Protein backbone atom coordinates (compact mmCIF):
# COMPACT_ATOMS: atom_id res chain seq x y z
CA UNK A 1 0.00 0.00 0.00
CA UNK A 2 1.10 3.59 -0.64
CA UNK A 3 3.02 4.59 2.53
CA UNK A 4 1.35 8.02 2.65
CA UNK A 5 -2.04 6.31 2.74
CA UNK A 6 -0.95 3.86 5.41
CA UNK A 7 0.27 6.49 7.83
CA UNK A 8 -2.72 8.78 7.17
CA UNK A 9 -5.13 5.93 7.84
CA UNK A 10 -3.35 5.08 11.09
CA UNK A 11 -3.39 8.71 12.22
CA UNK A 12 -7.08 9.11 11.43
CA UNK A 13 -7.87 5.98 13.46
CA UNK A 14 -5.74 7.28 16.34
CA UNK A 15 -7.56 10.64 16.24
CA UNK A 16 -10.80 8.86 17.15
CA UNK A 17 -9.39 8.57 20.69
CA UNK A 18 -9.55 12.35 21.14
CA UNK A 19 -13.06 12.75 19.78
CA UNK A 20 -15.32 14.73 22.12
CA UNK A 21 -18.72 13.26 21.28
CA UNK A 22 -20.66 12.86 24.55
CA UNK A 23 -24.01 13.51 22.84
CA UNK A 24 -23.96 11.37 19.70
CA UNK A 25 -21.27 8.91 20.83
CA UNK A 26 -20.35 8.93 17.14
CA UNK A 27 -16.60 9.41 17.19
CA UNK A 28 -14.78 10.56 14.08
CA UNK A 29 -11.05 10.90 13.38
CA UNK A 30 -9.47 12.60 10.39
CA UNK A 31 -5.94 13.09 9.14
CA UNK A 32 -4.92 15.39 6.31
CA UNK A 33 -1.72 15.30 4.24
CA UNK A 34 -0.63 18.72 3.05
CA UNK A 35 1.27 19.68 -0.09
CA UNK A 36 4.24 20.33 2.23
CA UNK A 37 4.02 16.66 3.28
CA UNK A 38 2.90 17.40 6.82
CA UNK A 39 0.07 15.49 8.47
CA UNK A 40 -2.49 17.14 10.76
CA UNK A 41 -5.12 15.12 12.57
CA UNK A 42 -8.46 16.16 14.03
CA UNK A 43 -11.47 14.71 15.79
CA UNK A 44 -15.08 15.83 16.03
CA UNK A 45 -15.89 18.25 18.83
CA UNK A 46 -19.48 18.41 20.04
CA UNK A 47 -21.12 21.12 22.11
CA UNK A 48 -24.17 21.20 24.38
CA UNK A 49 -25.48 23.82 21.98
CA UNK A 50 -25.56 21.14 19.29
CA UNK A 51 -25.22 23.30 16.18
CA UNK A 52 -21.79 24.44 17.34
CA UNK A 53 -20.41 20.94 16.78
CA UNK A 54 -17.36 20.79 14.49
CA UNK A 55 -16.62 17.77 12.30
CA UNK A 56 -13.28 16.00 12.49
CA UNK A 57 -12.43 16.89 8.88
CA UNK A 58 -12.74 20.63 9.48
CA UNK A 59 -10.76 20.41 12.71
CA UNK A 60 -7.87 18.69 10.89
CA UNK A 61 -8.01 21.18 8.01
CA UNK A 62 -8.19 24.19 10.35
CA UNK A 63 -5.15 22.97 12.26
CA UNK A 64 -3.20 22.74 9.00
CA UNK A 65 -4.40 26.12 7.68
CA UNK A 66 -3.54 27.88 10.92
CA UNK A 67 -0.01 26.46 10.64
CA UNK A 68 0.33 27.92 7.14
CA UNK A 69 -0.43 24.71 5.19
CA UNK A 70 -3.32 25.60 2.92
CA UNK A 71 -2.95 23.03 0.12
CA UNK A 72 -4.03 19.47 0.79
CA UNK A 73 -3.32 16.23 -1.06
CA UNK A 74 -5.16 13.49 0.84
CA UNK A 75 -7.66 13.29 3.71
CA UNK A 76 -8.47 10.09 5.63
CA UNK A 77 -11.67 9.74 7.69
CA UNK A 78 -12.35 7.03 10.31
CA UNK A 79 -15.12 6.37 12.84
CA UNK A 80 -15.62 4.25 15.95
CA UNK A 81 -18.40 2.30 14.20
CA UNK A 82 -16.25 0.04 12.04
CA UNK A 83 -18.03 1.55 9.05
CA UNK A 84 -17.08 4.10 6.45
CA UNK A 85 -18.67 7.53 6.73
CA UNK A 86 -19.07 10.06 3.91
CA UNK A 87 -18.03 13.63 4.73
CA UNK A 88 -20.88 16.10 5.25
CA UNK A 89 -21.69 18.85 2.78
CA UNK A 90 -20.32 21.59 5.03
CA UNK A 91 -16.92 19.86 5.18
CA UNK A 92 -16.89 19.32 1.41
CA UNK A 93 -17.53 23.01 0.82
CA UNK A 94 -14.86 24.00 3.34
CA UNK A 95 -12.27 21.64 1.84
CA UNK A 96 -13.00 22.68 -1.75
CA UNK A 97 -12.03 26.24 -0.83
CA UNK A 98 -8.47 25.02 -0.35
CA UNK A 99 -8.09 21.86 -2.43
CA UNK A 100 -10.77 20.97 -4.98
CA UNK A 101 -8.57 18.09 -6.22
CA UNK A 102 -8.31 16.49 -2.78
CA UNK A 103 -8.33 12.68 -2.51
CA UNK A 104 -10.50 11.31 0.29
CA UNK A 105 -9.91 7.94 1.95
CA UNK A 106 -12.93 6.51 3.75
CA UNK A 107 -11.64 4.08 6.35
CA UNK A 108 -13.45 1.08 7.76
CA UNK A 109 -10.40 -0.62 9.30
CA UNK A 110 -6.67 -0.20 8.83
CA UNK A 111 -6.83 -2.58 5.88
CA UNK A 112 -10.33 -1.89 4.52
CA UNK A 113 -10.88 1.50 2.94
CA UNK A 114 -12.13 3.28 -0.19
CA UNK A 115 -10.37 6.05 -2.08
CA UNK A 116 -12.48 8.80 -3.64
CA UNK A 117 -12.05 12.33 -4.95
CA UNK A 118 -13.65 15.37 -3.35
CA UNK A 119 -14.97 16.12 -6.85
CA UNK A 120 -16.93 12.83 -6.82
CA UNK A 121 -18.92 14.13 -3.86
CA UNK A 122 -19.09 17.80 -4.86
CA UNK A 123 -18.80 17.92 -8.67
CA UNK A 124 -19.92 21.56 -8.93
CA UNK A 125 -18.50 23.83 -6.29
CA UNK A 126 -18.98 27.40 -5.19
CA UNK A 127 -15.64 29.22 -5.33
CA UNK A 128 -15.71 32.94 -4.74
CA UNK A 129 -11.99 33.36 -5.34
CA UNK A 130 -12.44 33.42 -9.13
CA UNK A 131 -14.87 36.34 -8.96
CA UNK A 132 -12.77 38.26 -6.48
CA UNK A 133 -9.61 37.85 -8.58
CA UNK A 134 -11.49 39.19 -11.61
CA UNK A 135 -12.52 42.27 -9.63
CA UNK A 136 -8.97 42.86 -8.47
CA UNK A 137 -7.70 42.62 -12.07
CA UNK A 138 -10.59 44.83 -13.26
CA UNK A 139 -11.77 42.19 -15.75
N1 LIG B 1 -19.25 14.13 12.02
C2 LIG B 1 -17.94 14.30 11.64
O3 LIG B 1 -17.07 14.58 12.47
N4 LIG B 1 -17.65 14.15 10.34
C5 LIG B 1 -18.53 13.79 9.38
O6 LIG B 1 -18.16 13.69 8.22
C7 LIG B 1 -19.93 13.53 9.72
C8 LIG B 1 -20.32 13.85 11.11
C9 LIG B 1 -19.56 14.22 13.45
C10 LIG B 1 -20.40 15.40 13.87
C11 LIG B 1 -21.04 14.87 15.12
O12 LIG B 1 -20.18 15.09 16.21
C13 LIG B 1 -21.16 13.39 14.91
O14 LIG B 1 -20.29 13.08 13.83
C15 LIG B 1 -22.56 12.91 14.60
O16 LIG B 1 -23.12 13.66 13.58
pLDDT digits (tens, 9 = 90+) for 17-26: 999 999 999 9
Binned at pLDDT 50, 70 and 90, residue 133 comes out as low
User: What is the set of domains in the chain, with CATH numbers?
Assistant: 3-136 (3.40.140.10)
Cβ < 6 A, ligand 1 pocket: 21, 24, 26, 28, 44, 46, 53, 55-57, 85, 87-88, 91
Q: What pLDDT does residue 136 have? A: 65
Per-residue pLDDT at 112 exceeds 90: yes
106 vs 91: CA distance, rounded Å: 14
In angstroms, the CA 96 to CA 74 distance is 12
Query: Which active-site residues does the annotation give?
Result: 57
Q: pTM of the entire structure?
A: 0.93
Q: Give the pLDDT confidence of 82-91 residue by residue, as tens digits.
A: 999 999 999 9
Ligand 1: nearest atom to the Cα of 24: 15
Asked if pLDDT for residue 48 goes beyond 90, the answer is yes
Cβ proximity of 20 and 26 under 8 Å: no
The CA 131 to ligand 1 mean position distance, Å, reads: 31
Amino acid sequence: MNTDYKSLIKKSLKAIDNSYAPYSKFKVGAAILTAGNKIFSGSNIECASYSLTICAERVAAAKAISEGEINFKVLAISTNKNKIVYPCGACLQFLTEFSPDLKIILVKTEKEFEVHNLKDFLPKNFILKNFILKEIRNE
